[in-house]
Amino acid sequence: MHAPIRARETAGSAWRHYEKLFVPGGVEHALSFNGQAVAVLFFEEQSRIYREFLIRYSLPKTCLSAPQEITKAWLADTDALQGNHPQQGDALLEKIALQLLPNLGEFRQLDPRVLRAIEIMQAQPDRNFTAQELADSVCLSASRLSVLFAANMGLPLRRYRVWLRLRSIVGLISQGMSLTEAALMAGFSDSAHFSNSCRKLLGIKPSDVLRTDGSLRILLSTRL
């Protein structure tokens, strides 16, 4: 947030320093933060905001780039972060989105059935709800809920559930739990399952980001 980070695309390529860095989905890369604080925004490739971001800043889809037009003004809003409350995520991320994409337009209103499914998962992030269980709770078929969820949220239901568990595990570790204990409590089958999920979602291993000092915050938006 206050100093350059290092990044490279492949194991054999040279490290480069970036004040701001954009990593397209699917691009192989490695990052080095050197213990400093960083702010990372993840946009699902299927989402509207990801498409708008590419267009607004003329970003390449196949390599790392440094979007010069993006200012750091939005970083000031992260200083007041406390905890990982869902409503805080919506408010802060919408504010950041408007700073980065002033012409984004109206934020979507979720289908009430999708919103209800999200509320159920947020209330019990450690429970492995099946699509059918969630569908029954909102009076839909499992296939219809899956389609509706992806259309509203820009990502599959299963992937969203992993994000919720990841946020839950951060809070548990900050309370003093070991990685294995937190992984099991958050609903992962074991620490290896969590490690694999962390790599797939974040592109880095858990030990690179999980700390016991409560400094890591993961916020999700249900409206972007």
Question: Are residue 150 and residue 195 in the same domain, yes or no?
Answer: yes
Rounded CA-CA distance 22/60 in Å is 9
Question: Are residue 126 and residue 205 in the same domain, yes or no?
Answer: yes
Question: Are residue 120 and residue 142 in the same domain, yes or no?
Answer: yes
**Which CATH number goes with the domain that contains 183?**
1.10.10.60
Question: Are residue 198 and residue 219 in the same domain, yes or no?
Answer: yes
Beta 16-18 vs 5-8: how paired, if at all?
antiparallel
Question: Are residue 76 and residue 35 in the same domain, yes or no?
Answer: no
Residue-level length of the chain: 224
Question: Are residue 66 and residue 83 in the same domain, yes or no?
Answer: no
Question: Are residue 60 and residue 96 in the same domain, yes or no?
Answer: no
Question: Are residue 29 and residue 129 in the same domain, yes or no?
Answer: no
Contact 121, 115 (CB under 8 A): no
The highest-confidence range among 86-90, 93-97, 170-174, by mean pLDDT, is 93-97
Rounded CA-CA distance 139/169 in Å is 30
Question: Are residue 95 and residue 140 in the same domain, yes or no?
Answer: yes
Q: Which two tokens stand for residue 87?
A: 């409503």
Question: Are residue 103 and residue 168 in the same domain, yes or no?
Answer: yes
**Taking the model in full, what pTM does it have?**
0.69
Q: Among 38, 54, 70, give the residue marking a domain's end.
A: 70
Give the phi and the psi of residue 139 in degrees, each rounded to 5: 60, 45
User: Which domain range does residue 166 map to?
Assistant: 71-224
- Give the confidence band of 107 by pLDDT, cuts at 50, 70, 90: low
Q: Which two tokens stand for residue 165?
A: 């568990």
pLDDT average, residue stretch 91-112:
80
Higher pLDDT, 127 or 145: 145
Higher pLDDT, 141 or 75: 141
Q: Residue 16 belongs to what H/E stretch?
A: strand 16-18
Question: Are residue 102 and residue 210 in the same domain, yes or no?
Answer: yes
Structural domains of the chain, count: 2
Rounded CA-CA distance 32/35 in Å is 8
Q: Among 36, 70, 104, give the residue marking a domain's end.
A: 70
By CB neighbour count within 10 A (0-12 exposed, 13-18 middle, 19+ buried), where does 112 fall? Answer: exposed
For the stretch 176-196, pLDDT in tens is 888 888 888 888 888 788 888
Residue 81's nearest CA partner among 214, 221, 223 is 214
